[in-house]
A and B are shown apart, each in its own frame.
Chain A
Amino acid sequence: MKPENSEDKKYFFDKPASMKILAWSFLLSLVLLLALEFFIHKHTYFPSEEWPEFYCVFAFVGFVALVLSAKYILRPLVKRREDYYD
């Protein structure tokens, strides 16, 4: 019996239970990180860093802006067929 070749074998991330645990712990971490903000003393270099939840908002907005601008601006400009240079 070779479980690694079996199509039926359920691996860790195939199981809904383990995904559920992961999702909840991720959400919990997010809430915890948002809350932590109010218990620490920040050493800031720039005024904008003092805004509440600066890093959370910056990361989220920056990430979305990056992905969408790559998808809707860069890709239409630079995408060519795979054999473009052949």
Chain B
Amino acid sequence: MTEVLPPAAIFIIGGLLVPLIKGKWKSAYMLLIPVVGFINLINIPEGTHWVVEFMEYDLIFGKVDRLSLLFGYIFHLISFIAILYAIHVKDDVQNVAGLVYAGSALGVVFAGDLFSFFVFWEMLTVASIFLIWARRTKAAQGAGYRYLLVHAAGGLCLLAGIVLYVNQTGSIEFGYIGLNGLATLLIFLGFGLNCAWPLLHPWLTDAYPEATITGTVFLSAFTTKCAVYALARAFPGTEALIWIGAIMTAFPIFYAVIENNLRRVLSYSLINQVGFMVCGIGIGTQMAINGAVSHAVNDILFKALLFMSMGAVMYRNNNKINCTALGGLYRTMPLTCICCIIGAASISAVPLFSGFVSKSMVMSAAADGHMQIIWFILLFASVGVLEHAGIKIPFFAFFGHDSRLRPKEAPLHMLLAMGIAAFFCIFNGSFPSYLYSLLPYPVEYVPYTVPHVVGQTQLIFFAALAFILLTLSGMSPAEMRAVNVDADWFYRKGSGLFYRVMDISMNGLTRVADRVIVGELTGSICRISQRWPEVLCLGIMIPLWSITGVKGKELEGKIERTRVALQTHTSPIGISAAIATIFLVLIYLLM
């Protein structure tokens, strides 16, 4: 065990050292980190490693089994691709954040206990936020703050769940948890927020399109897939996930149809794809889990490929990314266009491309479980994927109306990064046995049967026919510059309402307090406390003086002298003492 390191350590320590390296060596050094990490990873045997005693618990930094290993492999591969794609970036904030982010994801995947899991889980948020802020625009800053607040809330929810859970079970081991009771529900929701469940999702579609060109490639790979891993580890077979997943596949496709920003279209598409994984985890059979995990692997690759191709378009077109501003770029960016089409074909599950061999496993698992409604929702969502990711992304960027933009082809390192991702998209789709051999359970599923290939091809071609007819007849929704409100409306507009409510209630309270307490109450207390000894004293003395026969001028003189004595605090001690005594007696009686 001395020759291998925890996978997270290589990335996090390696990442933090990046600013110390200058010049051309920096690129080589950064590319070397995932390579060294991968060599390290394949030398780690399955089992439990790096157990550290902490208080009375065991922290485990290396729970290595088939599930965590597969996520480990793909996280290393995508890190290499994303670093290569970002090799031109001179901003060390992004370089460090990207590597620490990838390292945290590896920490999550190999954590064997809930404490270290939680720490890496939160590091994911902290590191990723810098990839958003590094864009250094006002929109990115705002989206980053919202991202931070939402994830902080999700993290607290998870932490509360973990504390309750550890308190109940006495164990901090991270394994199967299952949904029963408040503690597990809080953990479930904490995972769900990072997984972008419906209504908990807008952080993703808000922030990812605002991140830097290269940052979004990192972002698309890690946060949601870590949540998929966590659900597969802790909540496989939880029925609620079937429905949550099915809704996730279906609702974003409507938004994607009318969205103008192509990276936001891809963000909705990301939720849609994660929906297939969540659904598979919910079904929970061996085939379904295999399908969910293999689809996570393929999605990381093709979604990164699509984000990279859109990033290259932004990079060469002065950050333009809206449908309304782009079009016809195939003329001068043919290689980027081909890479984008390969990504689009993979996500659309075209035979021989990667989506075909993994998404269908989840659908077959749903069909095997006789879940007819779920199966139909997933099939409808597959048609939706064709619309927004399969056709819309390449069509509006590279074909469609000629924007008259004639940018240069993407730089070489970007093309190489896209090429590697494109290679694996085709390789996994055409030779699925290699991917299948790495899955958590033995695979009996055969993707390439004649009915499956024909059915899927029919689906694709007739969806394309519908697109062509809708476009030619002018019935496709026109692309327009607009904001489409989503569930984030509640906190983006709700925060304004909250501000106003607080303004009226709290500042109103302050004003009332100022007027009543400062303005009036204090003054009247002051006046009363000045006057009451006089009233009390004279109230007793005047009758006494009258009885003893003091009258007229003499009485007025006595009253005047007493008043002055009390106001100037020069009354005889006896009177003060008597007043104090009377005061105390009064208080005693009132109590």
Contacts and interface: CB of A to CB of B under 8 A. Distances in A.
Interface in B270-302: none
A75 B478 CA distance: 11
B465 interface: yes
Nearest to A46: B372
Given A11-B331, A63-B386, A78-B485, A70 B406 contact: no
A65 to B, nearest CB: 9
A69 to B, nearest CB: 7
* Contact size range, B: 35 or more
Contacts of A62: 379-380, 383-384, 463
Interface in A53-68: 53-60, 62-64, 66-68
Contact of B379 (A11, A26, A58, A60): A58
Considering the complex of A and B, which 9 residue pairs feature the smallest CB-CB distances, nearest first?
Answer: A45-B367, A70-B257, A63-B466, A71-B477, A55-B458, A59-B462, A62-B383, A59-B463, A56-B462
Contacts of B451: 40-43
Interface of B: 253-255, 257-258, 330-332, 364, 367-368, 370, 372, 375, 379-380, 383-384, 386-387, 399, 406, 449-451, 454-468, 470, 475-477, 480-486, 492-493
Contacts of A67: 257, 387, 466, 470, 475-477
Nearest to B488: A85
Contacts of A64: 466, 470
A79 to B, nearest CB: 5
B387 A33 contact: no
B303 to A, nearest CB: 21
Given A30-B461, A45-B375, A59-B460, A81 B455 contact: no
B484 A60 contact: no
Nearest to A62: B383
Interface of B is mostly: helix
A26 B483 CA distance: 35
B253 A13 contact: no
Chain A binding surface SS class: helix
A83 B372 CA distance: 43
Interface of A: 4-5, 9, 11-13, 26, 29-30, 33-34, 36-37, 40-43, 45-46, 53-60, 62-64, 66-71, 74-75, 78-82, 84-85
A37 B323 CA distance: 37
- Max chain A Cβ within 10 angstroms of own Cβ: one of B254, B384, B486: B254
A47 B399 CA distance: 40
Given A13-B330, A59-B462, A71-B258, A66 B482 contact: no
A55 B455 contact: yes
24 contacts: A4-B406, A5-B406, A13-B330, A26-B461, A33-B454, A45-B367, A46-B372, A58-B379, A60-B465, A63-B383, A63-B467, A66-B384, A67-B387, A67-B466, A67-B477, A70-B477, A71-B477, A74-B484, A78-B484, A79-B258, A79-B480, A80-B482, A82-B481, A85-B483
